[in-house]
Amino acid sequence: MGQIIIDGGARLQGTVTVGGAKNAALKEMVAAILVPGRHQLNNVPDIADVALMGELLSHIGCRLQREGTTLWIVSPERLNPEAPLELVRKMRASIVVLGPLLARCGEARVALPGGDDLGARPIDMHLEGLQQMGASFRLSHGVLEGEALNGLTGAEIELSFPSVGATENLMLAGVAAKGETIIVNAAREPEIVDLARHLNAMGASVTGEGTPMLHVTGTPNLSPAEHTVIPDRLEAGTYAIAGAITGGDVTVTGCSPTLLRMELSKLEDAGCQVRKGEDWLRIEGPERPQPIDFVTLPYPGFHTDLHPQMVALLTVASGTSIVTENLYDSRFRYVGELARMGADISIESQHAVIRGKPELSGCPVLAPDIRAGAALVLAGLRAEGTTVVGDVHHIDRGYNGLVDKLRAMGAAIARSD
């Protein structure tokens, strides 16, 4: 399934450019379901999850064409309102087609996504919100069958947790529903703000994006639009930590440092020197990082998807760090792989205690998910000897050209498929 082979010890030096944000692009692709015509997205990353979302949209009836980082999606008059299990299983984000399919077609059949490597990951808030908007659901042989024969109607929906996916599903449904939808305790992630901008460019009225109270007014007059996806803050953060863990000097361009405020400030606490401009950041890593504590939280808190990379950094800190994971119940699965490299980490429910060691030692490890896979590559950059990271298809879901980009900055890294 592909391996990344790293000879550790090189100090990274140079510049790396990040692509468009996976977690914005995927939902902005889904927006094409809402209205027939030719939609254009710019700065779309060339990663496996985008290809999977393309397959799902093709199954629904759309035609896709890609040139460089521009993606055109032609949405037809009549859709096949269905998301099959083989695609939903590979990518849980497929669930965001549910709301817009119900709004546009009055029906949808979406295979129920099970749990995944990060935990149980229920979708109760998506379903309860859509039910408040007039949809009804029944589960038949593992497939969720939704119906809203008279269309969806706006409602005031209070989320018990600011779920990114539930907020997006309800926004996508709300722009094509009748009347106003208010989402209370909405997620505030920058990718949601970007989706709101895209929907507004399509003629929707979404206000309050980036705050916990979103107002979405439905309209029958949506039209296709052109939109440029925001930069990927998780890719940018991953390269920043790559600079930090190798004691290197890395400049990340094409990014938005303001979207990484908490993470960069924690890197400073760990002894890194961080400089930044509007669309670049430069990080110089210390010989050995200082220990730090952090807690993952919804935006603007420390992003859970940079947690494993940061833990990789802290395995070589000059003291003990404590990391608390609040988003996922099984995010720590990768810790066993880091332990094989010599890391000293103990887990107590959602807390990890990381006792920093002077060095890691390279060995074969397996990537359990996208971000933990990236963390193992970063650990390999620092480790003495050779690290072989297997199951790299997980990494391909969210990173384009990780190996080439790290090699261009001096890493001794190669890929074998």
Catalytic machinery residues: 116
Q: By Cβ distance, which residue is nearest to ligand EPU?
A: 165
- Contact between 32 and ligand EPU (CB under 6 A)? no
Closer to ligand EPU by Cβ: residue 163 or 251: 163
C-alpha 186/C-alpha 164 separation (Å) is 8
- Contact between 121 and ligand EPU (CB under 6 A)? yes
Of 83, 125, 225, 411, which lies in the binding site for ligand EPU, with binding defined by CB under 6 A? 125
- At closest approach, how far in Å is the CB of 21 from ligand EPU? 9
- Could you give the residue ranges of the DSSP H alpha helices within 202-303? 233-245, 261-269
Q: Which of 204, 167, 170, 172 is nearest to 189 (CA)?
A: 167
- Contact between 312 and ligand EPU (CB under 6 A)? no
SS3 (DSSP) at 78: coil
Q: Which of 209, 208, 214 is nearest to 189 (CA)?
A: 209
- Contact between 126 and ligand EPU (CB under 6 A)? yes
- At closest approach, how far in Å is the CB of 234 from ligand EPU? 6
- Which range binds ligand EPU by CB under 6 A, 81-89, 132-140, 159-167, 243-251? 159-167
- Which range binds ligand EPU by CB under 6 A, 19-27, 263-271, 275-283, 344-352? 19-27
Question: What binding mask, one character per residue, do residues 166-195 give for ligand EPU by CB under 6 A, x or -?
Answer: x--------------------x--------
Q: Kindly state the number of chain residues that form the binding site for ligand EPU, as judged by CB under 6 A.
A: 23
- Which range binds ligand EPU by CB under 6 A, 8-16, 134-142, 158-166, 250-258? 158-166
- Contact between 164 and ligand EPU (CB under 6 A)? yes
Angle at 347 between CA 262 and CA 161, to 5 degrees: 50
**90-109 binders of ligand EPU (CB under 6 A):** 93
- Contact between 319 and ligand EPU (CB under 6 A)? no
Closer to ligand EPU by Cβ: residue 48 or 187: 187
C-alpha 9/C-alpha 311 separation (Å) is 18
Phi, then psi, of 16 in degrees rounded to 5: -135, 140
Radius of gyration for the alpha carbons in the chain, expressed in angstroms and rounded = 21
C-alpha 57/C-alpha 75 separation (Å) is 9
**DSSP strands (E only) in 242-291:** 249-253, 273-276, 280-284
* Cβ contact 12:401 at 8 Å: no
Element counts in the chain: helices (H) and strands (E): 14, 24
DSSP states along 201-219 = HTT-EEE-TTSSEEEEE--
Tokens of 248: 């290197």
Closer to ligand EPU by Cβ: residue 22 or 405: 22
- Contact between 370 and ligand EPU (CB under 6 A)? yes
Residues at the interface with ligand EPU (CB under 6 A): 22-23, 26, 93, 121-126, 161, 163-166, 187, 304-305, 327-328, 370-371, 398
